[in-house]
Structure 1
Amino acid sequence: MNKEEAIQRVQAVWDRSPAALLCVAIVDQLAAGVLHRLTFGQLYRLASKNEASQDDIARALQYLTGHDLHLLDTEFEFIDENDETFYFALHDLRVAEREGALYHPESGELIDNYEERVFPTFVPSSLAKEILAE
């Protein structure tokens, strides 16, 4: 897949709506190789440039992490008391929910209130890396 094909898919679904414009902005950044991790802060800045609402953000994320145009994978970010950043896969959080505990990946210590200290981020999927490789 190339950048133009990805943009055509987005526009086929939403034409030039704010959600589509947000998706295209993300595709542009992926193709340029400047997007290695998408945080909600970055996402809100892109959304404001494209006049996208919170609903548009949700639609764009659902589309770009879904099956039709899977350009983003979800990871979870944890910043510990030493300001070190660690990432967890969705599977790790599902295990933590089932067991009721999440452990620091280096120290092995229980992370208190992990639900309040772990945040979603988004990374380029293997399909996005194809676009980048153009």
Structure 2
Amino acid sequence: MNLNDLIIRIHNDWEDTDVLPVIERVLRSLSIQKEYLQDTPINLRELCEYSGLSNTENELVYKATNYLVHPSIHVLNLRYELYDNGLFEITADEIYEAQKDGALYHPVTGREIPNFENEVTLSFVLSHEFINAEGAIS
């Protein structure tokens, strides 16, 4: 990934929209903190506050986040996490199977997780491609 190419792509995709400045601010914050954020779940609300975004811009932040998670952009990875006497990462395939079968099983103990939809949370982590990207975001 080349950050200069990424910025051009973002401008082409979001030119003349209210989302463009939000993506730019979030991306700049991620870039500045990428060594600190490596392999760390990102709290998007805190990141947005750090970027100077207000709560009234939530819809724009959601659009920006969806865009940055998209496989063709791949700045953020979506991660499913189960908090149950520790933190356990759950794969998208496991979530898919659980939704299909109606049951999610603990990755270590094998016991069924009741109401797993309420127990699994989403978080975001920086992609390795973004962490290792060439170029700079100004």
Q: TM-score range by the shorter chain?
A: 0.7 to 0.9
State the match for 2:53 in structure 1: 51
On the 8 A contact 2:22/2:64 being kept in 1, the answer is no
Q: Provide the rounded CA distance (Å) in 2 between the counterparts of 1:26 and 1:9.
A: 17
Amino acid at match of 2:47: L
In structure 1, what is the equivalent of residue 10 of structure 2? Answer: 10
Runs of 4+ residues deviating >6 angstroms: none
Q: Distance in 2 between matches of 1:23 and 1:60?
A: 9
Give the residue type in structure 2 aligned to 1:10: I
Distance, in Å, in 2 between the alignment partners of 1:2 and 1:78 is 33
What is the rounded CA distance, in whole Å, between the counterparts of 1:86 and 1:62 in structure 2?
Answer: 23
Structure 2 counterpart of 1:19:
23
State the alpha-carbon separation in 2 of the partners of residues 67 and 105 from structure 1.
26
Q: Which consecutive unaligned segments of at least 5 residues does structure 2 have?
A: none
Change (3 A) 1:125 1:57: same
Match of 1:88 in 2: 90
Deviations 1:5-35 (A, max 9, x none): 43444344446512331232123322xx111
TM-score of the superposition, structure 2-length normalised?
0.77
Q: CA deviation at 1:4?
A: 4.1
- The AA in structure 2 aligned to 1:105 is P
In structure 1, what is the Cα distance between the partners aligned to 2:24 and 2:13? 8
One-letter amino acid matched to 1:47:
C
Larger RCO: Structure 1 or Structure 2 (Cα < 8 Å, ≥ 6 residues apart)? 2
Determine what percentage of the aligned residue pairs are the same residue: 26
Partner Cα distance (1:5, 1:28) in 2:
18
Name which of 26, 37, 40 aligns with 2:40: 37
Gaps of 5+ in 1: none
Q: 1:10 to 1:23 in 2, by over 3 A?
A: farther
The structural deviation recorded for 1:96 is 0.6
1:65 pairs with one of 58, 62, 69:
69
How many pairs does the alignment contain? Answer: 127
> RMSD of aligned C-alpha atoms?
2.4
